Amino acid sequence: MRDLTMAEIDEALSFVSPDTARDEWIQIGMALKAELADAGFELFDRWSQGSDKYKPKDCKSAWRSIKASGGVGLGTLIKAAQSAGWQLKPDDRNDADRQRYAAEMAERRRVAQQQLAEEAAWRRRMADLVAIGCQKLCQWLSENQNPEQVSPYLQRKRVGYHCGYIVALPVLLVVDDFDEGSWIVTGEHIKSFFVEFNRMDADRKERRSVRKLSPGDFVLPLVGPDGAIRSVQMIYKSGTKSFPRHGEKSGCLALLPGEGSVWCFAEGYATAASVHEATGRTVFACIDAGNLVTVVNAVAASNPAQPLLICADDDETTDGKNPGAEFAARAAAGKNAVVVSPDWSVMPGQQEAA
* Per-residue model confidence as pLDDT tens digits over 111-129: 888 888 888 899 999 999 9
Q: Quick check: pTM over 0.75? A: yes
Residue 178: helix, strand or coil by DSSP?
A: coil
The whole-number pLDDT of residue 120 equals 87
Residue 190: helix, strand or coil by DSSP?
A: helix
The whole-number pLDDT of residue 61 equals 86
Q: Where are the beta strands (DSSP E) in the chain?
A: 165-166, 171-176, 181-186, 208-213, 218-223, 229-235, 241-242, 254-256, 259-266, 281-285, 308-311, 337-340
Question: Cα(301)–Cα(304) distance, rounded to whole angstroms?
Answer: 6
* Angle CA 224–303–229, to nearest 5: 10
Query: Is the predicted pLDDT of residue 353 greater than 50, yes or no?
Result: no
- Cβ-Cβ contacts under 8 Å for 156 (sequence gap 6 or more): 239, 352
Query: Is the predicted pLDDT of residue 19 greater than 90, yes or no?
Result: yes
